[in-house]
Structure 1
């Protein structure tokens, strides 16, 4: 893509001033995408995926960014009915004090669901035996990959370290598909550990990579913090595109809404993401301007 074309495309993104360094990175990211993937993008509208919680709204950790808030929007496992409108389930739950979602205690119930539904599990930390059991009831695991000891302690309140996350990730990958999730700006909207996480995942190997973005949430410890700027987020995403040239990269549903998305989403398309969940209008416009054919999905981004 010529520099003039790129600058013209960027001029349609509202409220940004992009420096030449980032322009160069975006140009490289787009070229990497073109070299390794068909000229298409998937927009997911996950109305066929039912979010399910194993623990109701209960969580022992009270994480600084969540505080159990997001569990309240999920359907308790004990209340499931009228599932014919759904083709998949995203199953999560509150964590125990050791960072584990109590999946093994519900293996039979999850297995019953799998008979007719695709299953995406948020597992939390696992050991080898737990990973084997999860593989028997799930199609894919969405794994929050944290690679910084201070972030683990200050956000998740866990007496664990980054190598515990590496061990869990590797155990899961032995047995089924895993999509690591990196929450950009997880610690108070600041970006510092995310680049090290990308380098570590490059070493470990990935099947696909999903990004979400810190959202300040009412009633949590981080409620008054600010999300990272869209340009800071894009710098991480385009770094990933260059570092993982052949790996599908997704921008997931958890990211600030409104005008923020109208800035972030078109930049993410230009940075080379393969899948975007509930894109903002400007994101759809950017895909059209770039000549991408659009595929529409109806499930969460971890499921194909």
Structure 2
């Protein structure tokens, strides 16, 4: 595809003057409040530029998912370690501790009600923490009952997707509308959990609820905000992806305006290739504080911006004391 075509379709090779101005303003807010620095994260057990992540993900449902959302159909579970019992999790943890693993992400496929049945392994969490692991959990759209259990067993952080488009929740996630997202947020924050909300950009194939998703969070004590750009694991009919780069950046910038003094992260789920590298570059220029699965070009851009650079081998949402 010619460069001119790429630019016309998604602005991959630059941004408008108006957006460039907003990017500079966003960076000013970020650097003023949080310092002119960036942390690059290598999650899971990925290998990148000679580094290896130290934060494996386990699936409490193996490779199976009842909900079978249209953007994944369970494919993302294949890279996770199957683990459906506290005993199995503690066996894995004993091995991982010898390997210098820093923490673990509890995840898995969703039930038909939209939550991940993490209760299968939660009794192991207090022991994991005694062993020195940071424990985060991808809850899906948690029920009040699951939220209580996450709090009871002392999970360090809960990751939740925030989707503001009712159509996407119904037609992509196979759930009965945006009420399940509201329910999950209320349940998790009501328990006083450390929540890491993920704004999913482009789930509908366009911007169609991302700003609403940010507004949904405004009533809660948000301490970190993660942005991802939909990168479906399987082909989706009638959905053209990814969304234009300028649209994705505009959502990220609005997030900084609404939540000016907390860390913002560019999460690991986003398109590959030139889109990924260009998004990283402009996100850095907009003052993003964290980037997962970074490119060499991102590191070079951070250096050219004079940012203080750190590296961590965990999920990008981890907030160590």
Q: Structure 2 CA distance, aligned partners of 1:115 and 1:154?
A: 42
RMSD: 1.9
Deviation, structure 1 residue 45: 1.5
Judge conservation of contact 1:253–1:277 (CA < 8 Å) in 2. yes
Counterpart of 1:77 (choices 80, 83, 92) is 83
Q: Could you tell me which residue of structure 2 aligns to residue 151 of structure 1?
A: 168
> Structure 2 matches for 1:92-241, cutoff 5 A?
92-116=107-131, 117-135=133-151, 136-159=153-176, 161-173=177-189, 174-187=191-204, 189-218=205-234, 220-222=235-237, 225-241=240-256
Note closer, same or farther for the CA distance 1:217–1:126 as it changes in structure 2 (3 Å cut).
closer
Q: Structure 1 CA distance, aligned partners of 2:244 and 2:123?
A: 43
Deviation, structure 1 residue 299: 0.5
Q: Structure 2 CA distance, aligned partners of 1:221 and 1:18?
A: 28
Judge conservation of contact 1:132–1:175 (CA < 8 Å) in 2. no
Q: Structure 2 CA distance, aligned partners of 1:272 and 1:125?
A: 29
How many equivalent pairs are there?
A: 288
Judge conservation of contact 2:163–2:178 (CA < 8 Å) in 1. yes
Q: Could you tell me which residue of structure 2 aligns to residue 31 of structure 1?
A: 28
Structure 1 window deviating more from structure 2 (205-214 vs 127-136): it is 127-136
Q: Could you tell me which residue of structure 2 aligns to residue 9 of structure 1?
A: none
Q: Structure 2 CA distance, aligned partners of 1:217 and 1:209?
A: 23
Deviation, structure 1 residue 68: 0.4
Deviation, structure 1 residue 163: 3.0
Q: Could you tell me which residue of structure 2 aligns to residue 5 of structure 1?
A: none
Q: Could you tell me which residue of structure 2 aligns to residue 300 of structure 1?
A: 315
Q: Structure 2 CA distance, aligned partners of 1:223 and 1:54?
A: 32
Q: Structure 2 CA distance, aligned partners of 1:207 and 1:242?
A: 15
SS state at 2:309 partner: strand
> Structure 2 matches for 1:57-72, cutoff 5 A?
57-72=63-78
Deviations 1:244-297 (A, max 9, x none): 111210001111122222211010111111101121122112211211100111
Note closer, same or farther for the CA distance 1:126–1:18 as it changes in structure 2 (3 Å cut).
closer
User: Unmatched 5+ residue regions in structure 2?
Assistant: 1-10, 44-52
SS state at 2:56 partner: strand
User: Unmatched 5+ residue regions in structure 1?
Assistant: 1-13
